[in-house]
């Protein structure tokens, strides 16, 4: 067991692509943790999907020994954090396992939205920050400007910002020295009842759940019976040890140490991220602070293209849930699409990842409905119900009030795009709540926005309008009352449940008109005229007609400009030959996406 004065626990926090994984790789190499010959680029990103997308999803933790200039050898635990806004809670738990953080900012890009968000999380967690500017080798690096931005963000002298290149290794040893000198050593009580924070967990097919833990007080040994203080889980430790990065069993983990723990439990929700572990015998009474249930924010229906695949889809979801406590699902039946599942996700990226895994790893062809959020409705009889599927909206006559989730969005942008961004936010029913200059040229705009207006394509729109220069981060700020209505779509006089959506009353007319037009272009001609109508309650607000076949018709069924579509849409496009029989009408899968495209071309 290491002497705590020689332990340093730290994370690397950065905006996406600013070089976190590359820096982690360099640290492993410089400390001879991994043999350079066996060094795969970005060793810490283990999942294939992560590697392909170049983003970090799972936090990882690795033990590293570093012999400092003072001649002493220190035991570092490097905890990699996910960089995406969907995974804020995981980031916050990873940070809670540390005493310090390397703040990494790309010297050519500067401070971005997630730099700010993660910096605040690190400050909240009371961490010592070591500001570094990465990629100084790039010809486009602007160390002076970026140094000022970092200094402004954390209130430190720009001269204290370390300049490094994670690619060439320049400056990285200096950063390791900084860690030794500035990051405080852990100060857990070795004699106190044992307590450890679970800051991540993962499911292994053979070994069950692998919990990533940071021991705070006392010692955990193989064979101990442990208790999850929030979940009530009781289990025996089968194996405990360090990540080197491979699992290396140890006799015990003592105060300040970071590693893994395996119990044979098969369900990630039983060893939940944020929970405090203690021992059954002479255990602690008080859990560590900060536990939270993760709640899905974005929902969509997933239906197998082939109805016979329903059991496979259920099976696949069950397996994925073992590994992903944030994924929720329940069976859903749609008249139009058959049997499927209503799934809940942390955010859009999470949704995309789950879909991709289902299609790729489980070889399923899926149809996804439009993402939606969870509304809360007070009925006239006083009952309060959650609604996360537009088809479940009660009759308007029974509704007293509808509330929808809001987020506070923080957008960082060069100042020339302020106008465009304000226009976009206003169009999405946003309320301006603040503006702050980070430097002469870069501005942080704050808006309160309905989450529903953000889940579709807000991020893409933001990128398009700012030529990719703006970055976004957001946090939920609770529910607010809104004048929302359900918009139904009728094909041939019958409502098609999978096309229903919830919109603001003021937007219903415009959305209805646009939606019917788009559907008309996408539904092929049939033997008879097919009326397409949009309705709010019993009131028809828009109508188009798909004319019946005529001999000379060379109907162009699949119109529309897809150049700027999200990846999600493009993938679904591939399935445009997939047809669904809705009543008497053949509807291409593509038509179900018409709703998704609404927000474009504005």
Chain contacts with ligand GTP (rule: CB under 6 A): 14, 16-22, 42, 54-56, 83, 134-135, 137-138, 165-167
135 a known binding residue? yes
- Closest separation between CB of residue 109 and ligand GTP, Å? 10
Q: How far is the CB of 120 from ligand GTP (least distance, A)?
A: 17
DSSP secondary structure letter of residue 34: S
Residue 245 token pair: 């990065």
H/E stretch holding 22: helix 20-30
At a CB cut-off of 8 Å and minimum separation 6, what does 161 contact? 131, 132, 133, 146, 147, 150, 151
From residue 359, alpha-carbon distances to 537, 572, 579 in Å are: 36, 11, 18
User: Does 278 count as an annotated binding residue?
Assistant: no
Q: Least Å distance between CB 40 and ligand GTP?
A: 13
**Nearest CB to ligand GTP, comparing residues 165 and 589:** 165
Distance of CA 422 to the CA centre of its chain: 25
- Of 113 and 499, nearer to ligand GTP (C-beta) is 113
The answer to the question of whether 552 is labelled as a binding residue is: no
> How many other C-beta atoms are found inside a 10 Å radius of the C-beta of residue 165?
21
Closest CA to 214 of 325, 63, 416: 63
Least Å distance between CB 107 and ligand GTP? 8
- Following CA atoms 104, 174, 65, 273 in sequence, which dihedral angle do they give, to the nearest 10 degrees? -20
Question: Is 70 flagged in the annotation as binding?
Answer: no
CB 432, min distance to ligand GTP, A: 29
Of 61 and 216, which has the nearer Cβ to ligand GTP?
Answer: 61
Whether 446 has a binding-site annotation, put simply, is no
Strand pairing class (162-163; 128-134): parallel
Q: Rounded CA gap, 515 and 498, in Å?
A: 13
Least distance in angstroms from the C-beta of 224 to ligand GTP: 35
20 among the known binding-site residues? yes
Rg (CA), the chain: 26
Q: How far is the CB of 130 from ligand GTP (least distance, A)?
A: 16
Q: How many CB atoms lie within 10 A of CB 459?
A: 18
Q: Is the Cβ of residue 22 or residue 391 nearer to ligand GTP in the bound state?
A: 22
Question: Which ranges of 371-455 would DSSP assign to H, the alpha helix?
Answer: 418-427, 451-455
Cβ-based nearer residue to ligand GTP, 138 or 151? 138
CA distance 105 to 135: 9
Task: Using the minimum distance from each CB to ligand GTP, give the nearer residue, 40 or 432.
Answer: 40
To the question of whether residue 576 is assigned a binding role by annotation, the answer is: no
Instruction: Tell me whether residue 14 or residue 515 sits nearer to ligand GTP (CB atom).
Output: 14
> Cβ-count burial of 593 within 10 angstroms (0-12 exposed, 13-18 middle, 19+ buried)?
buried
Least gap, CB of 140 to ligand GTP (angstroms): 9
The reply to whether 83 sits in an annotated binding site is no
Q: How much of the chain is helix, strand and coil, in % rounded to 5?
A: 30, 35, 35
Annotated binding site: 17-22, 134-137
Annotated binding site for GTP: 17-22, 134-137
């Amino acid at each position: 067991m290491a002497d705590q004065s020689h332990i340093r626990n730290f994370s690397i926090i950065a905006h996406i692509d600013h070089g976190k994984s590359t820096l982690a790789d360099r640290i492993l190499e410089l400390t001879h943790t991994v043999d350079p010959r066996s060094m795969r680029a970005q060793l810490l990103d283990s999942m294939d999907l992560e590697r392909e997308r170049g983003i970090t999803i799972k936090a990882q933790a690795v033990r590293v020994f570093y012999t400092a200039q003072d001649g002493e050898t220190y035991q570092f635990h490097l905890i990699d954090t996910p960089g995406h806004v969907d995974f804020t809670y995981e980031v916050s738990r990873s940070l809670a396992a540390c005493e310090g953080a390397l703040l990494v900012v790309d010297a050519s890009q500067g401070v971005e939205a997630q730099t700010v968000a993660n910096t605040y999380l690190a400050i909240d967690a009371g961490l010592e920050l070591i500001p570094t500017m990465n990629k100084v080798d790039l010809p486009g690096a602007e160390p002076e400007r970026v140094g000022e931005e970092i200094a402004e963000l954390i209130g430190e002298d720009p001269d204290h910002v370390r300049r490094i290149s994670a690619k060439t290794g320049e400056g990285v040893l200096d950063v390791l020295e900084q860690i030794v000198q500035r990051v405080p050593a852990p100060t857990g009580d070795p004699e106190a009842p044992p307590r450890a924070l679970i800051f991540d967990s993962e499911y292994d097919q053979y070994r069950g759940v692998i919990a990533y833990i940071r021991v705070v007080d006392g010692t955990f040994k193989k064979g101990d019976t442990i208790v999850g203080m929030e979940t009530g889980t009781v289990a025996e430790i089968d194996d405990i040890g360090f990540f080197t990065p491979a699992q290396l069993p140890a006799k015990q983990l003592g105060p300040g140490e970071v590693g893994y723990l395996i119990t044979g439990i098969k369900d990630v929700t039983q060893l939940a991220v944020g929970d405090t572990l203690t021992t059954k015998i002479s255990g602690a009474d008080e859990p560590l602070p900060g536990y939270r249930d993760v709640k899905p924010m974005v929902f969509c229906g997933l239906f197998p293209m082939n109805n016979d695949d329903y059991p496979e889809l259920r099976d696949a979801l069950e397996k994925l849930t073992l590994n992903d406590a944030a994924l929720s699902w329940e069976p859903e039946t749609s008249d139009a699409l058959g049997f499927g599942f209503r799934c809940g996700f942390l955010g859009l990226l999470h949704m995309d990842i789950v879909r991709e895994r289902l299609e790729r790893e489980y070889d399923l062809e899926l149809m996804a409905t439009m993402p939606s959020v969870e509304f809360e409705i007070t009925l006239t009889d006083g009952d309060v119900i959650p609604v996360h599927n537009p088809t479940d909206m009660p009759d308007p006559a029974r509704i007293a009030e509808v509330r929808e989730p809001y987020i506070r969005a923080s957008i960082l942008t060069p100042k020339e795009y302020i106008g465009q961004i304000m226009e976009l936010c206003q169009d999405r029913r946003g309320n301006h709540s603040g503006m702050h200059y980070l430097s002469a040229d870069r501005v942080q705009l704050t808006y309160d926005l309905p989450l529903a207006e953000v889940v579709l394509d807000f991020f893409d729109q933001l990128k398009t309008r700012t030529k990719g220069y703006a970055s976004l981060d957001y946090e939920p700020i609770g529910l607010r009352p809104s004048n929302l209505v359900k918009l139904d779509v009728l094909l041939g006089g019958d409502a098609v449940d999978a096309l229903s959506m919830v919109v603001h009353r003021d937007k219903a007319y415009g959305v209805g008109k646009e939606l019917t037009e788009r559907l008309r272009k996408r539904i092929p001609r049939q033997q008879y005229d097919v009326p397409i109508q949009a309705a709010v309650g019993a009131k028809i607000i828009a109508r188009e007609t798909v004319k019946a076949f005529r001999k000379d018709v060379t109907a162009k069924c699949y119109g529309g400009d897809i150049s700027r579509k999200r990846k999600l849409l493009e993938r679904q496009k591939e399935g445009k030959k997939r047809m669904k029989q809705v009543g008497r009408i053949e509807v291409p899968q593509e038509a179900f996406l018409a709703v998704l495209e609404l927000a474009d071309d504005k």
